[in-house]
Amino acid sequence: QFIAFASLFFILVSITTFCLETHEAFNTIINKTEQVINGTETVLQYEIETDPALTYVEGVCVVWFTFEFLVRVIFSPNKLEFIKNLLNIIDFVAILPFYLEVGLSGLSSKAAKDVLGFLRVVRFVRILRIFKLTRHFVGLRVLGHTLRASTNEFLLLIIFLALGVLIFATMIYYAERVGAQPNDPSASEHTQFKNIPIGFWWAVVTMTTLGYGDMYPRTWSGMLVGALCALAGVLTIAMPVPVIVNNFGMYYSLAMAKQKLPRKRKKHIPPAPQASSPTFCKTDLNMACNSTQGDICLGKDNQLMEHNRSSGRTPL
């Protein structure tokens, strides 16, 4: 639990720092305007410098993540499976840019500046650290299992939406061209749906019931197509969703039942008797000598033991 709370704390601090780095209160614009060599013109150059306090906080978080990653690598019984794990790949990709940025920050060459610019773009991978919480929270693991189990339903939903978008984008394009002016053959002044690809965005927004309002039909025929598109979107989304909800309920019930099970201590299991031990020979006598085919006991060491043949006992 201590490791879980510590990991949660540093993940939240790292994500908070990542978000604050984009706020103007923590960014200072530095004027780096330089004159060209001939001295006749100047080139305006501005650079945004982040507050050093946020860099120090991020450095502390990266140190913790590095320590955690190295410990898990060292004590992992299967290194190959550890490398293939997606969460471990995210950990490594989120840690590496910080060290590269610190190492290249002192260089002034153009190549180093280009690399630093690329690393600042790659820093968005840090937001993926939130998925590390799946190791400590049951709810996130249930969500992951649900998404994997509902792959077919998601594909079916995407196919339904793609078909609807294609059909209704085509319909709205031709419906909005009805009533266009003769002197406007492209209908650019009459409607916003100038081509079918533009209608794709409108169809997606309408079928998912978002309705941004940036594009809307203006003719009666276009309004009719828009109403049909909204109804088809509601029905399309409503069909695969119950299956996904059922999968989530099943995995959630299993996870809760597993947590409520009592944790049994491992009982000591006695080792199996060896071939040369008296217990093993006694067991062999009970199993092999009490037969109707003879009273000879055969051990694992291939030694024949004759059992009371000279006593004249009758085998049972």
On the question of pLDDT at 198 being above 60, the answer is yes
Same domain (yes/no): 71, 177? no
On the question of pLDDT at 39 being above 60, the answer is no
Same domain (yes/no): 3, 100? yes
Query: What residue spans of the chain are helical by DSSP H?
Result: 2-20, 52-74, 79-84, 86-104, 110-122, 138-149, 151-176, 196-207, 220-238, 241-260, 278-284
**Residue 91 carries which side chain, given as an amino acid letter?**
D
On the question of pLDDT at 283 being above 50, the answer is no
Query: Can you give the CATH number for the domain in which 235 is found?
Result: 1.10.287.70
Same domain (yes/no): 16, 113? yes
- Count of structural domains within the chain: 2
Give the pLDDT of residue 274. 55
pTM for this model (two decimals): 0.59
- Mean pLDDT of the chain, nearest integer: 75
Same domain (yes/no): 82, 59? yes
Residue-wise pLDDT for 107-119, tens only, equals 666 666 666 666 6
Same domain (yes/no): 80, 55? yes
300 found inside a domain: no
Which residue, 222, 238, 258, sits at the end of a domain?
258
Distance CA 76, CA 82 (A): 7
Give the mean pLDDT of 53-80: 89
Same domain (yes/no): 167, 82? no
| 27-31/46-50 β-pairing | antiparallel
**Full domain range(s) for residue 26:** 1-135
Confidence of residue 148 (pLDDT cuts 50, 70, 90): confident
